[in-house]
């Protein structure tokens, strides 16, 4: 049993989330049509954040691939064709990913020229309540094509018009799910067994999903008709009702002539938009899901949007359905993947005064980017090209930002993509932080050499407060938990010279000795700290064979990618 103390504390602001975890569940809905005469590719990209990460991919209840990854390494897992689910109703063809350390999961479905990607959310980011938007398919077809109204309405069957909703039970137990039609008020309840999912047609109005346990919800369409007789799949993982926002900045370069925005809420919501956000407004009634009329403002630049209630705001473009990142969910570090067969670009939104400090991997790239101010806000945006078949880290040392990734197939005219993978919300000047520095005090007492070995096995070393700031951090965290007793630190005398040295190699230039300390070498060669809240946590020397508590320190871990992708 150990007391875990965070030397560098992170306090989550707003509703930001991290897109990594140890347990994931997803599904692969139909792409174009299950009988379409073109090879289907359904894949997962699993990226490890820590060394020696063991992962397991489970399909339909059976393990289909396992492996071990080093920190920053990405593994592409090719799934069997039967993973695709084209039928409505209940299914057990879910895909689960589990690991013993944190990973990110990115899914991709490709058939012919139809491609769609999705950042798979860890179970910890899922919820029990979701708002399901009603997407007016007829209106959407009119927006994306030059059809006339009568032709569009008579040429599409009702079954083909509707989007589909997948509800996946994310837990290893039965789950009761209730679907409410928010226009008629009618309700349907059903049970899902462990990791089972149901695929249903979207109704003629917005829906609300309430579940007894965590579920993942996907909004999908297998063949969204677009310009030039193109057909593209849409897959979009919805955010739960507790992960919404009330301030959005809309990326203008993704806006096309026919793009629209829509939102869904079970409350009355007032939207204000423009630069600054007072050029116009629109009200969304409870239970409705409509295309917002102020889309035309987006075609001439950014739109700064605020809402009276937290909402999920989505951008509908040709071939893509994109969740906008609320300002409250901006992060400091993102992971991006790019394909070998598409032009990949990242869109960055950064505070204007901080743009020059934007990093891509280890390079400060901010000064070389072309930044465009977002009128009426403190932010600017830029677009950068990504290397083909590469994974990259985009991060900022002192400011939170938003990063989107969009790709364009060479043979098509539509884009797909969405928010990049969020790794950490809090900025860190040294890079993309994936795990905090930690101080652990054991409740068992052993000798100084045994303490060194113990900390090594824990992935760290004996705490070494070798400068004044480190001593202050240590005192702060020890006082926070009220630690008592005596604990070894990583300072001792040399057996050859009797000079003091730190186990970690730092110069011995700072000390916090108690009165009368240190004692002579024959009385004490190793150093411990008295865990006294009112005693300034002074240092004392003692014989190294004396039994005391190990106090281990573990360095923070930063994400450094291994390319090319395996």
194 — pLDDT class (breaks 50, 70, 90): very high
Q: Average pLDDT in the 246-271 region?
A: 72
Residues in CB range of 149: below 8 A, 6 or more apart: 138, 142
Q: Which of 4-8, 275-279, 532-536 has the weakest average pLDDT?
A: 4-8
Are the CB atoms for 105 and 46 separated by under 8 Å?
Answer: yes
Are the CB atoms for 164 and 201 separated by under 8 Å?
Answer: yes
Q: Is the dihedral of CA 379, 384, 386, 392 positive or negative?
A: negative
Higher-pLDDT residue of 453, 155: 453
The CA-to-CA distance between both ends of the chain, in Å, stands at: 38
Strands 28-29 and 84-85, by their bridges, are: parallel
DSSP secondary structure string for all residues of 110-174: EETTEEEEEEEPBGGG-EEEEEE----HHHHHHHHS---HHHHHHHS-HHHHS-EEEEEE-SSS-
Please state, in angstroms and rounded to a whole number, the distance separating the CA atoms of residues 204 and 256. 26
Are the CB atoms for 26 and 120 separated by under 8 Å?
Answer: yes
CA atoms within 13 A on the CB side of 405: 25
Q: How far is CA 540 from the centre of its chain?
A: 45
Q: Average pLDDT in the 440-451 region?
A: 94
Query: Domain limits of the chain?
Result: 17-243, 438-554
May I ask the CATH architecture of the domain 438-554? Roll (3.10)
Are the CB atoms for 392 and 565 separated by under 8 Å?
Answer: no
Please state, in angstroms and rounded to a whole number, the distance separating the CA atoms of residues 201 and 160. 9
SS3 label, residue 307: strand
**Percent with pLDDT over 90 in the chain:** 56
Please state, in angstroms and rounded to a whole number, the distance separating the CA atoms of residues 17 and 244. 11
Strands 549-554 and 486-493, by their bridges, are: parallel
Please state, in angstroms and rounded to a whole number, the distance separating the CA atoms of residues 131 and 135. 12
Bridge partners (DSSP) listed for residue 97: 24, 57
Cis peptide before 428 (omega within 30 of 0): no
Whether 152 shows a pLDDT value over 70: the answer reads: no
Return mean pLDDT, the chain: 85
Q: Average pLDDT in the 361-377 region?
A: 91
Please state, in angstroms and rounded to a whole number, the distance separating the CA atoms of residues 106 and 335. 10
H/E stretch holding 209 reads: strand 207-226
Residues in CB range of 207: below 8 A, 6 or more apart: 131, 132, 134, 165, 179, 180, 181, 182
| Highest mean pLDDT of the ranges 13-27, 285-299, 391-405, 464-478 | 391-405
Q: Average pLDDT in the 368-396 region?
A: 90
pLDDT tens string 304-336: 888 998 888 887 766 678 888 999 999 999 999
11 — pLDDT class (breaks 50, 70, 90): very low
Whether 44 shows a pLDDT value over 90: the answer reads: yes
User: Model-level pTM?
Assistant: 0.84
């Amino acid at each position: 049993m150990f007391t875990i103390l965070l030397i560098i504390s992170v306090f989550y602001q707003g509703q930001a989330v991290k897109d990594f975890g140890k347990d994931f569940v997803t599904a692969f809905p139909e792409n174009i049509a299950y009988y379409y005469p073109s090879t289907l590719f359904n894949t997962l990209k699993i990226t490890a954040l820590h060394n020696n990460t063991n992962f397991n991919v489970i399909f339909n209840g059976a393990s289909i691939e396992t492996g071990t990854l080093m920190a920053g390494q990405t593994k592409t897992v090719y799934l069997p064709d039967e993973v695709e689910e084209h039928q409505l109703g209940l299914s057990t063809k879910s895909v689960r990913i589990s690991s013993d350390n944190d990973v990110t999961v990115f899914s991709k479905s490709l058939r012919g020229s139809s491609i769609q990607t999705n950042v798979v959310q860890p179970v910890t980011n899922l919820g029990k309540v979701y708002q399901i938007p009603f997407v007016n398919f007829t209106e959407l077809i009119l927006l994306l094509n030059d059809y006339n109204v009568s032709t569009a309405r008579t040429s599409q069957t009702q079954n083909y018009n509707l989007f589909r909703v997948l509800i996946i039970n994310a837990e290893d137990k039965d789950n009761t799910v209730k679907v409410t039609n928010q226009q008629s008020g009618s309700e349907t309840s059903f049970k899902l067994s462990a990791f089972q999912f149901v695929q249903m047609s979207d109704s003629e109005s917005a829906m609300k999903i309430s579940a007894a346990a965590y579920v993942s919800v996907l909004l999908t369409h297998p063949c969204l008709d677009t310009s030039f007789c193109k057909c593209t799949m849409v897959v979009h993982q919805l955010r739960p009702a507790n992960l919404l926002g009330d301030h959005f900045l809309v990326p203008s370069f993704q806006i096309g002539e026919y793009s629209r925005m829509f939102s869904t809420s079970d409350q009355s919501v007032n939207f204000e938009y423009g630069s600054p956000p007072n050029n116009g407004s629109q009200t969304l009634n409870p239970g409705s899901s409509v295309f917002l009329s102020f889309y035309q403002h987006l075609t001439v630049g950014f739109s700064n949007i605020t809402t009276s209630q937290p909402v999920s705001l989505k951008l509908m473009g040709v071939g893509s359905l994109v969740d906008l990142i609320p300002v409250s969910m901006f992060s400091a570090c993102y992971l991006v993947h790019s394909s070998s067969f598409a032009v990949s670009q990242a869109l960055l939104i950064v505070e204007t005064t901080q743009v020059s400090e934007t990093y891509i991997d280890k390079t400060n790239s901010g000064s070389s980017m072309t930044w465009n101010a977002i009128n009426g806000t403190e932010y600017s945006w830029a677009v950068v090209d990504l290397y083909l078949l590469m994974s990259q880290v985009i991060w900022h040392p002192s400011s939170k930002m938003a990063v989107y990734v969009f790709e364009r197939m060479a043979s098509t005219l539509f884009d797909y993509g969405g928010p990049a993978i969020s790794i950490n919300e809090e900025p860190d000047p040294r890079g993309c932080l994936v795990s905090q520095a930690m101080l652990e005090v054991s409740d068992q007492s052993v000798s100084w050499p045994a303490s060194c070995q113990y900390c090594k096995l824990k992935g760290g070393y004996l705490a070494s407060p070798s400068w004044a700031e480190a001593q202050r951090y240590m005192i702060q965290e020890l006082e926070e938990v009220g630690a008592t007793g005596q604990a070894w630190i990583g300072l001792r005398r040399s057996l050859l010279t009797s000079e003091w040295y730190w186990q970690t190699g730092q110069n011995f230039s700072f000390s916090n000795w108690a009165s009368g300390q240190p004692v002579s070498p024959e009385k004490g060669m190793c150093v411990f700290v008295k865990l006294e809240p009112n005693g300034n946590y002074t240092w004392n020397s003692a014989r190294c064979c004396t039994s005391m508590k190990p106090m281990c320190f573990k360095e923070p871990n930063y994400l450094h990618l291994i390319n090319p992708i395996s």
